[in-house]
Amino acid sequence: MTRPASQPATIPPIGQNLTDLIGNTPLLRLDRFVPHGNLFAKAEWYNPGQSIKDRAVWGIIREAERDGSLSGDKIILDATSGNTGIAYAMIGAARDYRVRLCIPAGVTPTRLKILRALGADVILTDAAQFSDGAIIEARRLYADDPDRYFYGDQYTNEANWRAHFDTTGPEIHDQTQGRITHLVVTVGTSGTLIGAGRYLKSRNPRIELVEVQPDSPFHGLEGMKHMDSAIVPGFYDPGFADVKMGIATEAAYKCVVDLAAKEGLLVGISSGAALSAALDVAAENPDGVVVTILPDSGVKYLSERFWDDI
């Protein structure tokens, strides 16, 4: 008697894709700064590209794949001060896309090495123009040959802020069990503020949104924008935040050093700006639940001169 062939068992998938690791970052209590207090920070360096920009870039690429504007023969193009570029290069390598990035020449050497290691084609622009110079060059390249590129355009692409509406905002709401009273966010594209802020306001309109910018046009807060003197992102709403705060470069640097020494957290410069503002908000609202976002790891900034003073 012939025995029937056995049916192969269904084997569950093993492991994850790189993009599955984006999001769901921890919320940390900063007890050393506010003992037994109310200050919390979202640790965005837990993303695989070590920054919050992984969320926006994955949202931009995923939406472009869905609508057909990004195909395998097109080069992904965008302007960046570093972290968005790393996210593009990382995801581009994982999904077999070519990536071309316009980036200010003044960014840290470590960022350039990371971008090139991940296979990105880097075009350096005038350091004195900060991210605006990179935006102008990316727009020129796209205008000259639009069929060659998928222009992600992080500064106007609505998929940027929607990524934070879909992920960052809900995570913060759930991690605080809906108790958050203040969200303190630094702005570059403003995608995090607009997206996470809109979600949180939809859950509780009384949540206060605090927008953090550099306090002057000439600053050392890489990745952040002084909106009154810069090319303004297309979806930025100057009236959206409940409060605006300007942070000095030196104050941000000090908070970066303090976070490493007091909490063991090695973070980037915009994280220092976020903490500087959040400390003031927490002090003024001792009964609140204040959440800020630490956008990236500090590994890429160890060549900055302020570390030499330690």
- Residue 303 in any domain: the answer is yes
Segment 241-255 mean pLDDT: 97
CATH at residue 201: 3.40.50.1100
Residues 142 and 229 both lie in one domain: no
Per-residue pLDDT at 5 exceeds 60: no
Residue 161 counted as domain residue: no
Q: Is pLDDT of 1 > 50?
A: no
Residue 98 lies in a domain: yes
Are residues 249 and 276 both part of a single domain?
yes
| Paired residues of 183 in beta bridges | 209, 291
Quote the pLDDT of residue 223.
Answer: 87
Give the predicted TM-score (pTM) of the model.
0.93
Average pLDDT over residues 14-39: 92
Choose the weakest-confidence range: 5-19, 64-78, 265-279.
5-19
Instruction: Give me the number of domains the chain comprises.
Output: 2
**What whole-number distance in Å separates Cα of residue 271 and Cα of residue 41?**
9
Co-location of 65 and 205 in the same domain:
no
204 and 138 inside one domain: no
Q: CA 162, CA 191: separation in Å to the nearest integer?
A: 8
Residues 82 and 183 in one domain: no
**For residue 97, what are the domain limits?**
53-151
- Residue 299: its pLDDT value, please? 92
- pLDDT of 2 reads 47
Q: Where are the alpha helices (DSSP H) in the chain?
A: 53-67, 83-95, 109-117, 130-144, 158-163, 169-175, 191-203, 249-258, 269-284
Tell me the per-residue pLDDT of 102-118, one tens digit each, with 9 for 90 and over: 999 988 888 899 999 99
pLDDT at 109: 87
Regarding whether 60 and 39 lie in a shared domain, the answer is no
Share of the chain above pLDDT 70, in %: 95
When pLDDT is averaged across residues 223-238 and rounded to a whole number, the result is: 95
pLDDT at site 310: 66
Residues annotated as catalytic are 53, 270
User: What is the per-residue DSSP string for 83-115?
Assistant: HHHHHHHHHHHHHT-EEEEEEETTS-HHHHHHH
The residue with greater pLDDT, 4 or 189, is 189
Question: What's the pLDDT score for residue 12?
Answer: 64
CB atoms within 10 A of CB 197: 27
Residue-level pLDDT at 67: 96
Pair of tokens at residue 282: 């927490």
| Residue 7 falls inside a structural domain | no
Strand partners, 122: 101
Query: Is residue 281 located within the same domain as residue 190?
Result: yes
